[in-house]
C-alpha cells in the first residue's frame, strides 16, 4: 500500500498509525461492499402493438363524436 515507511517515532505511535490505516482500509472495503453499484440495466418499455393504437384511435373518435364538434 503506502506504508512501507512510517514517519513516526516510537512503537506506540507506529502502532496507532497502523491501526488507523487498517481501520481506514476496512471501512473503504466495507462501504464498497454495502453500496455496490447496480448490475442490472434499465428496462426498455415495450412498444404498443398496432391493435392497441387502432383501439385508442377508435375511442378518441367516439369521444369526439359524443362531445360534438372538436376544437382542433
pLDDT in tens, 1-50: 555 677 788 888 888 989 999 999 999 998 888 776 666 667 777 776 66
Instruction: Answer yes or no: is 21 within a domain.
Output: yes
Closest by Cα among 17, 16, 24, 11 to 3: 17
DSSP calls for 22-36: HHHHHHHHHHHHHTP
Instruction: Answer yes or no: is 61 within a domain.
Output: yes
Range of the domain at 27: 11-37+44-67
Instruction: Answer yes or no: is 2 within a domain.
Output: no
Asked if residue 37 lies in contact with residue 13, where contact means CB atoms within 8 angstroms, the answer is no
Instruction: Answer yes or no: is 48 within a domain.
Output: yes
Higher pLDDT, 28 or 70: 28
Domain count of the fold of the chain = 1
What's the pTM? 0.43
Instruction: Answer yes or no: is 33 within a domain.
Output: yes
Inform me whether the pLDDT recorded for 71 exceeds 60: no
Q: pLDDT value at position 9?
A: 86
Amino acid at each position: 500500500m503506502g506504508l512501507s515507511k512510517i514517519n513516526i517515532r516510537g512503537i506506540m505511535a507506529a502502532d496507532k498509525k497502523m491501526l488507523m490505516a487498517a481501520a481506514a482500509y476496512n471501512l473503504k472495503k466495507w462501504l464498497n461492499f454495502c453500496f455496490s453499484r447496480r448490475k442490472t440495466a434499465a428496462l426498455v418499455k415495450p412498444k404498443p402493438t398496432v391493435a392497441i393504437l387502432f383501439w385508442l384511435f377508435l375511442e378518441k373518435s367516439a369521444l369526439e363524436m359524443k362531445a360534438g364538434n372538436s376544437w382542433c
